[in-house]
Chains A and B, each alone.
Chain A
Amino acid sequence: MSSGQVYYLTTLLVYAGVDAMACIALNLQFGISGLVNFGFIVFQAAGAYTAAVLSMPPANGGFQQYILGLRLPFPLPWLGGAAVGGLLAVPVGLVVLRRLRSDYQAIALLVLSVIANTVITNARGFLNGAAGLSLVPPPLSGVVNTETVWYQWLYAGLTALGCAIVYVAAGRIINSPYGRTLRAMRERELAAAALGKNLVTLKMTMFVVGGVIAGLSGAILVGFIGVWAPATWLYPETIVLFAALIVGGRGNNLGAVLGALLVPVGFEEATRFIPAVGPPGLIPALQWVAIGLLIIAFLWYRPQGTMAEPRRVFGGPGPAPPARPRQHHEAVAPAAAADRGPPLLRTEEVERWFEGLRAVDGVSIAVEAGRITGLIGPNGAGKSTLLAMLAGTLQPSAGRIFLDGRDVTRLPAYQRAQRGLARTFQLSSEFAHLTVMENLLVAVPRQPGDSLFGALRGKSFWGEDERVLVEDARELLARFRMSAAESAYAGDLSGGQKRLVEIMRALMLRPRVLLLDEPMAGVHSSVVEEIASSLETLRREGLAILMVEHELSMVDRLCDPVIVMAQGKIIGRGSMSSLRRQREIVDAYLVG
């Protein structure tokens, strides 16, 4: 190989490695967690600038102005770049990720990208403004001769090493219980929060992880090309990476790498060989048009990308695990249930107004262990609003809510879930692109692999616990006659099956209090019987259940006491038979 060819090849390899790292990071954020980081390139730029000013000599009033200039030895500039990429993600994430709707998040980040570029361009003394930094010393300069072919190969090798580390780490995150939690958040945030997942922490973590990888990729790139200027990180560069991920396959680690090879690398290289036609700038402009068309075409014809997200199928039952009774945590013994201690869940005069409408108006209820409390009433009575306030998805306008004697009125949904409160939703809220098995597993609290560091330690750290959980889940699936659907995507199930998945998912949380919003609606009658008998079992085991239901025969059979609501107020409570004797309740609901 001539040295020209070596330079071309190694340059290609370094670019491929950098783009692959960027796409892997973007896949963690967008493909896995559903975060649309339109400002991604800013984090790469932050890493590049950091690595540059850490490795450059102090600015001496020459043609460049910049801060720092610490002349640090390799690998400190690379590590610094990664660190700054991650650190930058913290304030940005705190502003953008906490309260904003996801489409606004995307826009805020896009705007950030444009503005950051404007600021750096105009603030000349900071990072040399529009001209940017040049003469960035390559890593190990002074230690080895950086002008040799050998050094080119060394750099490509170091890039490959960085890329491999990132690829393995990302793979561990994606395939762990933590990755499953992230994907559940991507599918349906409200339901993930109801399972005790702290969405803000999850998003912030992935934002920082992505920032670290982006920063590292920028540091590697700037060490190789030796220059970095605002023109290299305009916001459309992020769109190229999105295009790469959409083409390669969202949610697929290998797909991210493939996308990086196809779009930024392959595309740029292919257009080198197009003869220059038209005025200068025509070919690059058309290249951008093609990127836009590529995104739209893939989203229309093959939204899953070249390599779709893999379906997770769990292996057959291994050696029979030691028989373990299913436990609800701190399950109350039946005897205790008979004692009827203080109610597990209680409200005091809760109210909720929507612009003058009192949806719930001074409601006090108590949900006791070992009983199924029914909640009935005509449409618009405020039942679902009450349930949402109990679960923490809706803040009460007034009044207080106690869970196990503790005031939880101000606690968010995920913290209530962590304290043993599970719920199902009136509208089906399965995690569509997770299998039924994954839908169940994701609910289990305190899994060793359900944290960033647990995930990074690999399957040997969490695999054993996972096997036990899979057996638990299979037991539950068998009980609800859903074993055959174990590896089906929950989104492909019928309405009734989705409902079952939701109930099973809530049970996997091992709750002490269970809120059910019309669990029988839309469910086949044979399955209704299944649900009813398992609710009876759960009641025996000491669970406190609150159930909204319209099917009065079921309420009759399962619920005692029954609470009747109308127009936001409680109009009666007691056993079903006593309620039937009360004239106004019959008028309000039971008949009309």
Chain B
Amino acid sequence: MSIYLAALGFGLVSTAVIAIAAVGFTMQFGITNMINLAYGEVMIAAAFLAYGLNHAGLSIWIGLVFAALFGAAVSVVVNRALYAPFQRRGASPIGMVIISLAAALILANVLLAVVGPDNVSYTVSDAAAVSAGSFILTSVQVVIIVVAVAAMVAIHALLTFTRLGKAMRATAANAALARNCGIPTGRIMDIVWMITGGLCGVAGTVAAIDSGSFAVGNGASYLIVILAAAVLGGAGQPYGAMVGAALIGEITELSAAALSPEYKAVIAFGILVLVMIVRPQGLFSKTGALGAAG
């Protein structure tokens, strides 16, 4: 039983990590209509930036801040330089998926050329902060959870209480109409890519902290877990992604305790397939994955 209790603790941390990542990913999709397959690679690039700073002697939490800034900058640049021009030309959603996959390939391999294929890990303290039997959280893990909760509250506040959030939701619902109502959709898009890119950078770093060691090759497996959480919650739905993250986080950790950790991604994939068969629109969406889209 104790192994499951420990897994529950791990699951809590996984949930925090996945939630940060999946909310950013799903907001990109919901507002900019872009399934950004380069997301996992931006995560890992940001994690490596944090690693560079950490390696140079800075605290990982300072690295986290820079990773967030880096993720935001890269995302805005990729959108401005690549995605937005193709979207303006009227590329189909499926064309955009291919383009984002090409972007993922480029990012991953530029990174590989720079940092090499080896596994690295951060220097962090691993003192236990909370423990109840075999349920143990280290102080770092507690910080990750706090960061995640803060990010979720901030996103909720942004979408619900601010004019900016309202403008984002309007742009998501109908960009052309929003523009005609005087919403500067171009600037909104930049801000969306900045915020979601920031989340992506944070997610990459906390994911790297959580997994102990990481390498360039991890980008694809991050992406799968994120996709599973986002699709489970209903693509484009930030709150759905949070719930999806909790389900995926706990289920994968509990199954890892029961089976073998190698199959974490397989379990996530199994859930993804099940959702696509039984409820393609996800738990919280009315359309989502259903219906024609070019």
Contacts and interface: CB of A to CB of B under 8 A. Distances in A.
B93 A295 contact: no
B265 A289 contact: no
A95 B291 contact: no
B8 to A, nearest CB: 24
Chain A's interface size range is 35 or more
Contact of B293 (A96, A101, A112): A101
B82 interface: yes
Contact of A293 (B35, B94, B106, B290): B106
A119 B227 CA distance: 18
Interface in B33-61: 35, 37
Contact of A296 (B82, B94, B273): B82
Chain B's interface size range is 35 or more
A50 B235 CA distance: 37
Nearest to B221: A114
- Interface residue SS majority, chain A: helix
A296 B292 contact: no
B35 A285 contact: no
A102 B220 CA distance: 21
A133 interface: no
B212 interface: no
A101 B95 contact: no
B168 to A, nearest CB: 21
A324 interface: no
B280 interface: yes
Contact of B109 (A100, A111, A189, A288): A288
B101 A239 contact: yes
A115 B97 contact: no
A292 B103 contact: yes
Interface stretch (B64-72, B112-120, B127-135, B172-180): B112-120
A241 B272 CA distance: 26
Contacts of A62: none
Nearest to B96: A103
B51 to A, nearest CB: 18
Nearest to B114: A285
B228 to A, nearest CB: 8
A282 interface: yes
B289 interface: yes
B152 interface: no
Given A114-B221, A295-B102, A299-B98, A100 B280 contact: yes
Contact of B266 (A107, A118, A292, A355): A118
A300 B286 CA distance: 34
Contact of A289 (B95, B105, B286): B105
Contacts of B269: 111-112, 114-115
A236 interface: yes
A285 B105 CA distance: 9
B227 A102 contact: no
A25 B231 CA distance: 29
A99 B273 CA distance: 12
B265 A101 contact: no
25 contacts: A34-B94, A96-B276, A100-B280, A100-B289, A101-B291, A102-B293, A102-B294, A103-B97, A103-B293, A106-B94, A110-B101, A111-B224, A114-B221, A118-B266, A122-B263, A189-B292, A235-B220, A242-B98, A282-B113, A285-B109, A286-B113, A289-B105, A292-B106, A295-B99, A299-B91
Closest 5 CB pairs of A and B: A292-B106, A292-B105, A288-B109, A295-B102, A292-B102
